[in-house]
């Protein structure tokens, strides 16, 4: 009996040891398979679409769904937003507000959200960000890539300035109005909002989706490369060629926006006239040639990059850093200024 007992114990021990061994082997096989499938075999699919007057590049991978289906939805969402907020097409909501003769117009929550954001940045930047510059933008021809562009006369500029200014825009509950003759133009913020929405859509459709959306230098990250590595993003040299950069940053999530005087401009008598206007003068802003802002959401980084382009490097920047944004500005002398925390993003980690 004793002998049988001890044999049983021995057998049990062998079985348990085998099971543990098998468990360990299975664990390693699982880990190996997991990494193979989540890295080596993950395929990024790329697509370029012309939207918001620029080439929008989508790079997307997903473990559960066909990235092409996700990209279809993202592009559809961005086109919806582009149409809805385009002040120069007749059926858009902004067109309706602009042509309501100063009357209150009832709008949806999304419109309120974007307009409130715009006004928030107008107040925060002392009017450097101004969503009611439509008249000036049209006068300069920056609303239309095909418009012939020239420097407007002083009278024309003064007239357009009188019909501009964020204080002419009012929001009350779900109602909006703008003074008669003044035009809202959300070109400095709506691309950022559209990218945020596309990123959110990609994540909602499948939480394993990774990749990014690059709307002409305004970039929203969906998730890190292969779920692990930061994306390397070049910051364009504003006086170099298409592929020249002044530096790189690494982002695993969040957003980065760049406003430059090289994106849309014309030259007259050797002077460059570009599409970011100083709301005080009506002329293109002259305190920077490129501004990059890193933040959580692109809607904020986009508005801030435009505003800081107008403000130039100065004490206000500290406030933006305290709010969680990092800024790099290249001034007209070509000198690069950076907030302290910007350095963090220059290293891959």
Cα Rg of the chain, angstroms? 26
Is residue 263 close enough to count as binding ligand ADP by CB under 6 A? yes
How near is the Cβ of 349 to ligand ADP at its closest, in Å?
28
**Inter-CA distances, 278 with 52, 74, 288, 311, Å:** 21, 33, 11, 9
Instruction: With residue 105 as reference, give the H or E element that holds it.
Output: strand 105-106
Instruction: With residue 80 as reference, give the H or E element that holds it.
Output: helix 67-84
Alpha-carbon gap, residue 259 to 290, rounded angstroms:
6
Choice between 216 and 224, CB closer to ligand ADP: 216
Binding ligand ADP (rule: CB under 6 A), the pick from 310, 317, 327, 329 is 310
How near is the Cβ of 305 to ligand ADP at its closest, in Å?
6
Instruction: With residue 304 as reference, give the H or E element that holds it.
Output: helix 298-311
Contacts of Mg ion in 283-312 (CB under 5 A) = 302, 305-306
Both tokens of 125, joined, read 């930047």
Choice between 70 and 256, CB closer to ligand ADP: 256
How near is the Cβ of 21 to ligand ADP at its closest, in Å?
59
Is residue 237 close enough to count as binding Mg ion by CB under 5 A? no
Instruction: Phi first, then psi: give them for residue 202, nearest 5 degrees.
Output: -60, -40
Contact pattern for ligand ADP over residues 204 through 243, marking x by CB under 6 A: ------------x-x-------------------------
Alpha-carbon gap, residue 264 to 273, rounded angstroms:
9
Alpha-carbon gap, residue 120 to 125, rounded angstroms:
9
Alpha-carbon gap, residue 307 to 156, rounded angstroms:
24
Is residue 214 close enough to count as binding Mg ion by CB under 5 A? no
How near is the Cβ of 220 to ligand ADP at its closest, in Å?
13
Stretch that binds ligand ADP, among 108-116, 123-131, 223-231, 326-334 (CB under 6 A): 123-131
How near is the Cβ of 293 to Mg ion at its closest, in Å?
9
Is residue 259 close enough to count as binding ligand ADP by CB under 6 A? yes
Among ligand ADP, Mg ion, none, partner that 214 touches (CB below 5 to 8 angstroms by kind): none
DSSP-assigned states of every residue in 217-256:
TEEEEEE-BTTTBPEEEEEE-TTS-TT-EEEEEEESSSEE
Cβ-closest residue to ligand ADP?
187
How near is the Cβ of 302 to ligand ADP at its closest, in Å?
5
Q: Which residues bind ligand ADP (CB under 6 A)?
A: 129-131, 133, 137, 142, 185, 187-188, 191, 216, 218, 259, 263, 275-277, 279, 302, 305-306, 310
């Amino acid at each position: 009996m004793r002998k049988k007992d001890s044999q049983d114990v021995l057998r049990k021990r062998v079985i348990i040891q085998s099971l543990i061994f098998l468990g360990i082997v299975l664990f390693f096989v699982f880990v190996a398979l997991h990494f193979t499938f989540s890295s080596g075999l993950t395929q990024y699919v790329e697509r370029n679409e012309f939207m918001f007057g620029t080439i929008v590049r989508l790079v997307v991978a997903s473990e559960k769904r066909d990235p092409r289906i996700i990209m279809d939805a993202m592009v559809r969402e961005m086109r919806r937003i582009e149409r809805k907020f385009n002040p120069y097409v007749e059926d858009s909501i902004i067109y309706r507000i602009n042509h309501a003769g100063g009357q209150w117009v009832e709008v949806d929550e999304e419109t309120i959200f974007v307009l409130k954001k715009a006004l928030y940045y107008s107040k925060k930047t002392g009017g450097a960000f101004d969503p009611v510059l439509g008249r000036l933008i049209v006068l300069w021809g920056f609303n239309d890539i095909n418009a012939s562009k020239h420097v407007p006369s002083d009278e024309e500029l003064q007239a357009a300035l009188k019909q501009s200014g964020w204080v002419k825009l009012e929001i009350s509950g779900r109602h909006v109005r703008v003074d008669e003759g003044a035009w809202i133009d959300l070109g400095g913020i709506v691309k950022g909002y559209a990218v945020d929405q596309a990123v959110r859509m990609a994540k909602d459709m499948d939480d394993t989706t990774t990749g990014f959306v690059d709307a002409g230098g305004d970039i929203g990250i969906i998730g890190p490369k292969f779920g692990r590595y930061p994306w390397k993003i070049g910051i364009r040299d504003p006086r170099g060629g298409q592929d020249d950069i002044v530096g790189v940053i690494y982002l695993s999530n969040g957003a980065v926006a760049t406003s430059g005087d090289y994106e849309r401009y014309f030259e007259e008598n050797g002077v460059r006239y570009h599409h970011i206007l100083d709301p005080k003068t009506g002329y293109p802003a002259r305190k920077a040639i490129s501004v990059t802002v890193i933040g959580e959401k692109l809607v904020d980084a986009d508005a801030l990059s435009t505003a800081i382009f107008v403000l130039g490097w100065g004490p206000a920047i500290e406030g933006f850093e305290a709010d969680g944004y990092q800024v790099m500005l290249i001034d007209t002398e070509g000198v690069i200024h950076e907030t302290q925390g910007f350095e963090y993003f220059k290293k891959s980690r």
